[in-house]
């Protein structure tokens, strides 16, 4: 079963806006960091997917709901899990929490389609499929 993985990022000054709050688009970057580390924890490398199997998982939809502000030097935990997979589609879910107190800062999801080098949809190779759900 696909477990939830946790990845930590520290808010850099450059990631904040004039109000001292993390700029909203940075959460999508952190979600990507969480996704790559989630795959890596399952022994999956984006590089290997692309080079060895002509498989890319392109983002076709991204959402983020903001709950509370993150600020400079906060340590943020990104929780990532695979929610669903069907054919060429893979759906990831994320939570960003302030590590010091567990406060939910943001939650979101990304939907990806597996494509080949020519950007034609193709099935995700079986060796990259992760069980859906969460073991929490």
To the query of whether residue 52 is one of the catalytic residues in this protein, the response is: no
- What's the full length of the chain, in residues? 136
Sequence-distant (≥ 6) Cβ neighbours of residue 49 within 8 angstroms: 55, 56, 57, 125, 128
Radius of gyration of the chain (CA): 16
Beta-carbon neighbour count of residue 5 at 10 Å? 17
Catalytic residue among 17, 48, 54, 73: 17
| 97 in Cβ contact with 104 (< 8 Å) | yes
Tokens of 110: 């990304």
Hunting for tokens 């020519």 — which residue is that?
A: 118
Catalytic residues: 17
């Amino acid at each position: 079963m696909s477990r939830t993985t946790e990845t930590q990022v520290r808010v850099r000054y450059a990631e904040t806006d004039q109000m001292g709050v993390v700029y909203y688009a940075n959460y999508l970057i952190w979600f990507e960091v969480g996704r790559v580390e989630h795959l890596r924890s399952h022994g999956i490398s984006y590089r290997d997917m692309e080079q060895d199997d002509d498989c890319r998982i392109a983002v076709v939809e991204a959402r983020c709901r903001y709950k509370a502000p993150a600020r400079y030097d906060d340590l943020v935990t990104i929780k990532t899990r695979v929610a669903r997979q069907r054919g060429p589609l893979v759906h990831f879910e994320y939570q960003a929490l302030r590590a010091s107190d567990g406060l939910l800062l943001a939650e979101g999801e990304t939907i990806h389609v597996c494509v080949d080098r020519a950007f034609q949809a193709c099935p995700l190779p079986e060796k990259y499929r992760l069980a859906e759900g969460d073991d929490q």
